[in-house]
Amino acid sequence: MVSKEEVLEGIRQSIGALDFEGASKSLKDALNIGIDPAEIITDGISKGEEIVGQKFERNEYFLSELIMAGEMTKQLLDILKPHIEKGKVKPKGRVVIGTVEGDIHDIGKNIVIMFLQSRGFDVVDLGVDVPVDKFIAAVKEHEPQILAMSALMTLTAPVMGEVIKRLTETSLRSKIKVIIGGAPTTPEFGKSIGADYQTTDPVKGVEKCLEWVESGVDG
């Protein structure tokens, strides 16, 4: 019988190699030996996503491979969805989420969305390559408690700061919490642009969102 680490490594390497059949088999093996779906996502799928991102940054993968990886991961998440417990409660809060302008990466964003929805959040997904104005318009229209932004590339991460600056200029900043994530972001970067929280761990990110809405967004 394969070990937990072997199965998770199989998921990681298969995603990194864009091998859907291999990743799917390893994911099902993980479920069969009782690995928690959250762990499959954080230690398997997310880490595989990081490998894809690293290859993209090194120009080993290009746009077509990135899109392929995103579609593959969506299918893996669909396999996992029935195994994630969904709370039978009214939405805890609303989150507007998107990948910033110039960045078409959505693997991490989709993982976060699944976690948010599984924990009872109403999620408004703006997609990828989202301009600053579209983020602002969505915050005005949907009145979320939380705005979540994602970026894969160092080049696009500063757009998050532009969004936060525009929120301040339009008097919206004090009404919401802002959480950011993605490989090039760090806690220090988050502080420098005025974000409330930064993480590359989808579970920690969702826990922070829960903490905010349960204590009151202003708390």
Domains and their CATH numbers in the chain:
4-83 (1.10.1240.10), 93-215 (3.40.50.280)
Q: What is the pLDDT of residues 156-186, one digit of tens each?
A: 999 999 999 999 999 999 999 999 999 899 9
Q: Predicted confidence band at 194 (pLDDT cuts at 50, 70, 90)?
A: very high
**Secondary structure of residue 151 in the 3-state scheme:** coil
Q: Predicted confidence band at 189 (pLDDT cuts at 50, 70, 90)?
A: very high
Sign of torsion over alpha carbons 119, 123, 125, 131:
negative
Q: What is the pLDDT of residue 52?
A: 85
**Secondary structure of residue 212 in the 3-state scheme:** helix
Among 93-102, 166-175, 203-212, whose mean pLDDT is lowest? 203-212
Q: Predicted confidence band at 71 (pLDDT cuts at 50, 70, 90)?
A: confident
Q: Return the CA Rg of the chain.
A: 17
When the pLDDT of each residue in the chain is averaged and rounded to a whole number, the result is 89
Q: Predicted confidence band at 217 (pLDDT cuts at 50, 70, 90)?
A: low
pLDDT over 90, % of the chain:
58
The pTM is what?
Answer: 0.69
Q: Predicted confidence band at 218 (pLDDT cuts at 50, 70, 90)?
A: low
Q: What is the pLDDT of residue 89?
A: 45
Residue 5: C-alpha distances to residues 33, 39, 43, 145, 172 (Å) = 11, 11, 9, 37, 45
Q: What is the pLDDT of residues 24-70, one digit of tens each?
A: 999 999 999 999 888 898 889 878 878 887 888 789 988 788 778 87
The Cα–Cα gap between 22 and 19 comes to: 5
Residue closest to 100 by CA, chosen among 187, 186, 160, 56: 160
Helix (H) or strand (E) run with residue 57 in it: helix 46-57
